[in-house]
Amino acid sequence: MGGIQTIAAAALDPQVTLAVVGVPAFCHFQSFKVGRDYGPVCYRSPEGLERLKSNEKIKSMVAYHDAVNFAPMIKCDIYVCTGFTDELCSPSNVYAFYNNLTAARSRTMTTNPRTGHYGTTANVKGRKRLEELFRSIQVNQHPNH
């Protein structure tokens, strides 16, 4: 659950300056309304979709956790990645999240047409930026030491 946790932290904490999000789940639970793959695997069966459509508690819960709803609140630099063969997190739903990053200082997407979900899609640009940031940190000794 690293992707959605990073998204929530970036959206809810104004002190976050950089977010690196890899193949995030929980993006665009309402995508079935426009004919795309929807939500996590637990809702991809006919029974799961029916629960998603008919149960008001589930509707409000998934809206609360939907990355698309967090996206407009993110104001930091953000790097997102997706693999086009991701079997858990539909790339089109990751793009729905990405396209809603309207307040982000900057946004960057890394894609790979041949990779899926399980650690195979590298967030190349995000990792590079994170390395640059770590290398730029200078630790100053306390004057009393």
CA 91 from chain centre, in angstroms, equals: 11
What is the CATH classification number for the domain harbouring 102?
Answer: 3.40.50.1820
Is 123 within a domain? Answer: yes
For residues 8-23, give the mean pLDDT: 95
Is 145 within a domain? Answer: no
Reported as a single tens digit per residue, the pLDDT across 80-136 is 999 999 888 889 899 999 999 999 999 999 999 999 888 778 899 999 999 999 999
Is 143 within a domain? Answer: no
Taking the CA of residue 71 as centre, how many other CA atoms within 13 Å lie in the half-sphere pointing to its CB? 24
As a whole number of angstroms, the distance between CA 87 and CA 84 comes to 9
Is 141 within a domain? Answer: no
Q: How many domains does the chain have?
A: 1
Number of CB atoms found within 10 A of residue 49's CB: 14
Q: Average pLDDT, whole number, for the chain?
A: 86
Confidence of residue 42 (pLDDT cuts 50, 70, 90): low
Is 10 within a domain? Answer: yes
Range of the domain at 64: 2-136
Is 48 within a domain? Answer: yes
Taking the CA of residue 6 as centre, how many other CA atoms within 13 Å lie in the half-sphere pointing to its CB? 20
Longest dimension (CA), the chain: 66
Write the CB contacts of 119 (distance below 8 Å, at least 6 apart in sequence). none
**CA dist 130 → 8, 78, 102, 119 (Å):** 19, 11, 22, 18
Is 142 within a domain? Answer: no
